[in-house]
């Protein structure tokens, strides 16, 4: 008998790439099971089916990276270096740019902070995510107040740069898209101001690159940092892409094997290029997964943007019609944005709103300060928190309709259960569900 190989899972539906877990059903406190409504893409995106296939393929031919003579080592090394090129192409890397693989955006920006020349002044808006706000030396950092428009952000940066010593190096940290509200920042305009003062720029593209095309050359920034886990790849891989000189002039980020060229009793000579800051055995599987996600997104970019724009329009329009619901923005309601709607509901703590949506409607949203405390203190009254719903490839129109319905029902009738606030958050009384599952190992 001839055994037939199982058909591979489809990778697309229409023009959109598929994500893993689309078939997941979740229980509600009403003893029903509903399709899991993923509106938390700004925190973490599910992996693409194509990425899962790539990970399975590389693990079947798994070998040590670099310097190994065996077949699997040579193959894995080749794929790892090809992944570097794919990731660079995804963000429009220039011919002389380098791609350093990191753990995530936070790690990438910390790596850049490690390589700054002495006396470098850093300028960053207070609206930045903590990953972009905190890795710099406090005494050399200027925190620019939260602007209220794109035009004001450019003016504020110009004023801040004008106050610095032009003889000292400077780095401007630019957010691509706000992780709290989704507003897209005027990256090219901010980079142009920085260039007039001889300053360099790094773009935090964690929230932008998965949803809009990023091109280093067109934006004229010096570095781009982004994460795999927000780009439909698994946790554990990110990248810093850009200029080589500051990176090659600094001590290695991780002084270890792989970063060394030669070691003697008297002297250590370090590698140049990406290897200088990729000490230890690299996360080759993660790098290849990230490259697979980048290639897939690039191939479907127009369809992805259209899908997200349609969902975002429906989400914001639906929430706007509900009395007592306020949508929030940094750069104003007319600003372009990625698929995020951040809102508050009069009379209800954001943490309770998100728990009601999860328990009663099977929806995943996020509440809190979103690792951007300074911005949230400026934007939100009360305890400085809000609810964030963020769309992506795992979001459907029905999820949007369910969320709008759930918020409206909450406003009109209150929760369907009594909730108690505990040390671990809000808990529905008489919840009939057993939410435990067997460990996956």
Which residues are annotated as catalytic?
371
The dihedral through the CA atoms of 111, 115, 119, 122 has a sign that is: negative
Distance set, CA 385 to CA 124, 127, 220, 320 (Å):
22, 14, 34, 19
| Phi, psi values for residue 357, rounded to 5° | -65, -35
Fill in the DSSP letter of residue 337. B
Give the length of the chain.
441
Region for residue 368 given its phi and psi (left: phi exceeds 0; alpha: psi -120 to 50; beta: otherwise): left
Surface-to-core class of residue 413, CB atoms within 10 Å of its CB (0-12 exposed, 13-18 middle, 19+ buried): exposed
- Is the Cβ–Cβ distance between 389 and 344 less than 8 Å? no
Determine contact, residues 181/203, Cβ cutoff 8 Å.
no
Largest CA distance in the chain: 79
DSSP string, 242-269: E-SHHHHHSPPSS-STTTEEEE-SS-EE
Q: Could you give the CA distance from residue 216 to residue 261 in angstroms, rounded to a whole number?
A: 30
Which tokens go with 345?
Answer: 């509901």
List the beta strands (DSSP E) in 176-237: 200-204, 223-227
335 sits in which H/E element: none
CB neighbours of residue 26 within 10 Å: 18
Tokens of 325: 């619901």
């Amino acid at each position: 008998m001839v055994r037939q190989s199982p058909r591979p899972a489809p990778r697309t539906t229409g023009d959109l790439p598929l994500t893993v877990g689309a078939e997941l059903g979740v229980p509600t406190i009403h003893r029903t099971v509903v399709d899991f409504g993923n509106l938390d893409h700004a925190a973490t995106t599910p992996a693409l089916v194509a990425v899962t296939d790539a990970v399975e393929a590389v693990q079947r031919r798994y070998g040590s990276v670099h310097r190994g003579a065996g077949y699997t080592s040579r193959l894995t090394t080749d794929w790892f270096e090809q992944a570097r090129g794919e990731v660079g192409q995804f963000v429009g890397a220039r011919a002389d740019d380098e791609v350093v693989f990191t753990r995530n955006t936070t790690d990438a920006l910390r790596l850049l902070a490690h390589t700054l020349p002495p006396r470098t002044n850093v300028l960053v808006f207070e609206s930045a995510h903590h990953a972009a706000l905190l890795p710099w030396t406090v005494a050399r950092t200027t925190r620019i107040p939260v602007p209220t428009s794109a035009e004001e952000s450019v003016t504020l940066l110009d004023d801040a740069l004008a106050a610095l010593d032009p003889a000292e190096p400077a780095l401007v940290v630019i957010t691509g898209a706000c992780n709290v509200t989704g507003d897209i920042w005027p990256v090219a305009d901010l980079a142009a101001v920085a260039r007039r003062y001889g300053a360099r720029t790094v773009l935090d593209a964690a929230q932008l690159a998965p949803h809009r095309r990023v091109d280093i050359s067109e934006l004229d920034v010096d570095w781009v940092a982004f994460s795999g886990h927000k780009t439909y790849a698994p946790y554990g891989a990110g990248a810093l892409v850009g200029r080589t000189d500051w990176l090659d002039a600094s001590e290695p980020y991780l002084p270890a094997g792989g970063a060394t060229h030669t070691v003697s009793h008297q002297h250590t000579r370090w590698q140049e290029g990406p290897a200088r800051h990729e000490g230890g055995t690299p996360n080759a599987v993660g790098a290849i997964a990230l490259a697979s996600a980048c290639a897939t997104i690039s191939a479907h970019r127009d369809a992805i943007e259209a899908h997200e724009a349609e969902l975002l329009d429906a989400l914001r329009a639906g929430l706007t019609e509900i009395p007592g619901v306020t949508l929030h923005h940094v750069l104003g309601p007319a600003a372009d944005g990625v698929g995020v709607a951040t809102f508050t509901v009069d009379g209800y703590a954001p943490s309770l709103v998100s728990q009601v949506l999860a328990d009663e409607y099977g929806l995943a949203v996020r509440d809190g300060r979103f690792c951007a405390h300074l911005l949230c203190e400026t934007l939100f009254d009360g305890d400085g928190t809000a609810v964030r719903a963020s769309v992506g490839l795992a979001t459907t129109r029905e999820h949007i309709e369910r969320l709008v319905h759930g918020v409206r029902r909450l406003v009109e009738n209150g929760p369907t259960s009594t909730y108690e606030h505990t040390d671990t958050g809000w808990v529905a009384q008489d919840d009939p569900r057993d939410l435990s599952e067997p460990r996956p190992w």
